[in-house]
């Protein structure tokens, strides 16, 4: 942790961030910088009885830090003596947390793929490594945490021996493939879902050689799994949640480590003894059409809540999709996280890396492209895809408006500034009372939040008569230009000057604060920077 004294060591927090860049630090792993007084005490520590708004969206990476701040019986590490008196979160991170929620869930997403299969008595298993476990469980099930009846989850541990997965781009892909093939051989689950996380996870690193290794590994393991599925009489569907490394460069040639707005492939591979020749796939689809396609193959009516439609040409017009394949319907759905499709080979690591398995499958089997970004997955027009939206829509079979769209609309109409949860959190901070702490990502566009949301909260605090606002900034270069964190911190400081309210007191990489693998040592480091102790 680096301590800086404003006006003496540095002129601004943005300057401190730039100094750290010059020493070799980068946004994701950025070591915490905290503002201190002449005695070294934290100037912006979250103390006893103060108020916090965690303005991030998504939630699966935010819940651990939230628990550390507010849970009365928290036991993963020793905390400072005090806890905030009030805490609000932008969205619900986990049901039952002692916080108020600005934008609660819009309601249960009924009749997702997993729920429909369960109700039909079809056993299902989800196989994924723990780094992506929440995506094929919570998000795929429409943000339902508990498994449905007859649903089994197999989580292969992701390695904790490395700090970043570009040090181990293979991740646990071979173990995931082994677990998938074992379940295929057992044959007790007519629906098997497998997920390979490598391309997405490693694609967020600048290490190009590691990304290429991740692509080759996923390609090879996909081949092993597909061959076993064919032998065991499973129809294999291959797709992705969003794109990444097929669009690796910004227009100026710098590396883009974020997600993309590219479509993703969707392939159908018949089992041995079956034939895909009678089968054709329609164009113009999106991720919401995958669940209806699975149900079509099983011969299950698509529920009215699913506004997507089967990708099989002629589906719903008397075609018996199951009869196109040998034996009783069995389906393997493989999700290759981050595997986008783009015709242009410039900056396209998937096109540049040898992928003999996917090349062979796409030459021999029906395939099409699916939209996986923007309005097709409930996001603002022109936005990139992300893992949450991707898996949510793969399971939901309909467009689900994102929290971001709801929040942006509330800001546009002004309803945001009347939000009861935020007004409640700010109430003790009026007229020189307690300090209001605003915590979250600083980014032009991140799946975890936006500067627009922070700025709206700062403006609301001004309207509400809050006298002191401390801002705790999280950096993460996913889809951002190099050294972008300093630019965003500078924008926040400029906004604070314009309002005459707010100061950036903490800056750290999202690696420490936004963990979802129960690495409590990382969360403790973030907590110490925020609350001291």
Quick: pLDDT tens for 445-459. 677 888 999 999 999
132 three-state secondary structure: helix
Mean pLDDT along residues 94-113: 92
pLDDT recorded at residue 35: 94
Strands (E), 244-394: 264-269, 285-286, 331-336, 367-371
Does residue 221 surpass a pLDDT of 80?
A: yes
Instruction: Give me the pLDDT at residue 351, please.
Output: 96
What is the pLDDT of the chain when averaged over all its residues? 92
Give the DSSP letter string of 36-101: B-TTS-BTT---TT-EEEE--SS-TTTHHHHHHHH-TT--SSPPPS---SEEEEEE-SSTT-SSEE
Task: Please report which confidence band the pLDDT of residue 276 belongs to, taking 50, 70 and 90 as the band edges.
Answer: very low
Domain ranges of the chain: 2-105+404-531, 123-400
Classify 2-105+404-531 by CATH class. alpha beta
pLDDT in tens, 19-28: 999 999 988 8
**Percent of the chain whose pLDDT exceeds 90:** 77
The pLDDT, as a whole number, for residue 318 is 45
Report the alpha-carbon distance of residue 263 to residue 447 in Å, rounded.
18
Instruction: Find the length of the chain.
Output: 533
pLDDT tens readout for residues 130-188? 999 999 999 999 988 899 999 999 999 999 888 889 999 999 999 999 999 999 999 99
49 or 197, which is more confident:
197
Reported as a single tens digit per residue, the pLDDT across 227-271 is 999 999 999 999 999 999 999 998 888 888 889 999 999 999 999
**What pLDDT is recorded for position 493?**
97
Terminal-residue alpha carbon distance, the chain: 13
pTM of the model: 0.77
Supply the pLDDT for residue 340: 98
pLDDT recorded at residue 260: 94
**Which of 2-6, 214-218, 367-371 shows the lowest mean pLDDT across its residues?**
2-6
> Considering the domain 123-400 in this protein, what is its CATH number?
3.40.720.10
Q: Which of 155-164, 216-225, 259-268, 299-308 has the lowest mean pLDDT?
A: 155-164
pLDDT tens for 462-517 read 999 999 999 999 998 665 667 788 999 999 999 999 999 999 999 999 999 999 88
* Radius of gyration of the chain measured on its C-alpha atoms: 24
Please tell me the chain's helix, strand, coil percentages from 3-state DSSP, rounded to the nearest 5: 35, 20, 45
The two tokens of residue 154 are 């197999």
Inter-CA distances, 190 with 123, 176, 239, 443, 516, Å: 6, 18, 19, 43, 30
């Amino acid at each position: 942790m680096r301590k800086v004294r404003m006006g003496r060591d540095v002129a601004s927090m943005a300057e401190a961030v730039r100094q750290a860049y010059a020493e070799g630090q980068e946004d994701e792993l950025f070591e915490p910088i905290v503002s201190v007084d002449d005695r070294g005490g934290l100037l912006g520590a979250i103390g006893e009885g103060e108020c916090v708004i965690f303005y991030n969206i998504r939630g699966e990476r935010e819940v651990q830090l939230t628990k550390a701040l507010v849970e009365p019986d928290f036991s993963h590490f020793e905390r400072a003596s005090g806890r905030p008196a009030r805490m609000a979160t932008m969205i619900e991170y986990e049901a039952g947390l002692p916080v108020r929620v600005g934008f609660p869930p819009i309601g249960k997403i009924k009749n997702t793929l997993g729920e429909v299969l369960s109700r039909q008595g079809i056993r299902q298993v989800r196989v994924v490594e723990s780094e992506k476990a929440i995506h094929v469980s919570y998000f795929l099930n429409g943000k339902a945490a508990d498994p449905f009846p007859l649903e089994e989850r197999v989580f292969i541990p992701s390695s904790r021996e490395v700090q970043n997965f570009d040090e181990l781009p293979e991740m646990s892909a071979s173990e995931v493939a082994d677990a998938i093939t074992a379940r295929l051989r057992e044959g007790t689950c007519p629906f098997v879902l497998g997920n390979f996380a490598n391309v997405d996870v490693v694609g967020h690193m600048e290490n190009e050689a590691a990304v290429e290794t991740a692509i080759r590994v996923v390609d090879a393991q996909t081949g092993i799994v597909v061959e076993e599925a064919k032998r065991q009489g499973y129809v294999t569907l291959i797709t992705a949640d969003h794109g990444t490394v097929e669009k690796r460069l910004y227009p100026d040639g710098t590396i883009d480590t974020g997600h993309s707005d590219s479509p993703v492939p969707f392939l159908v591979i018949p089992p041995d003894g079956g034939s895909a020749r009678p089968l054709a796939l329609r164009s113009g689809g999106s991720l919401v059409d995958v669940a209806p396609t699975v149900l079509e193959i099983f011969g299950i009516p698509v529920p009215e809540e699913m506004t997507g439609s089967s990708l099989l040409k002629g589906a719903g017009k008397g075609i018996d999709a199951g009869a196109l394949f040998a034996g009783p319907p069995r389906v393997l759905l493989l999700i290759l996280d981050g595997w986008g499709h783009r015709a242009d080979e410039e900056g396209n690591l998937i096109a540049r890396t040898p992928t003999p398995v996917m090349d062979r499958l796409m030459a021999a089997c029906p395939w099409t492209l699916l939209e996986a970004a923007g309005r097709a997955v409930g996001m603002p027009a022109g936005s990139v895809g992300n893992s949450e939206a991707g898996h949510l829509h793969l399971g939901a079979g309909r467009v689900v408006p994102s929290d971001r769209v709801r929040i942006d609309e509330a800001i546009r109409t002004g309803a945001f500034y009347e939000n009861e949860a935020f007004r409640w959190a700010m109430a003790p901070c009026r007229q020189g009372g307690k300090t209001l702490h605003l915590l979250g990502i600083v980014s032009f566009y991140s799946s975890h939040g936006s500067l627009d949301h922070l700025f709206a909260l700062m403006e609301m605090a001004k309207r509400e008569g809050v006298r002191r606002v401390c801002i705790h900034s999280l950096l993460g270069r996913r889809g951002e230009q190099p050294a972008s964190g300093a630019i965003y911190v500078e924008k926040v400081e400029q906004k604070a000057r314009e309002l005459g309210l707010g100061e950036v007191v903490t800056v750290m990489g999202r690696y420490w604060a936004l963990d979802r693998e129960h690495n409590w040592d990382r969360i403790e480091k973030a907590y110490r920077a925020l609350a001291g102790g």
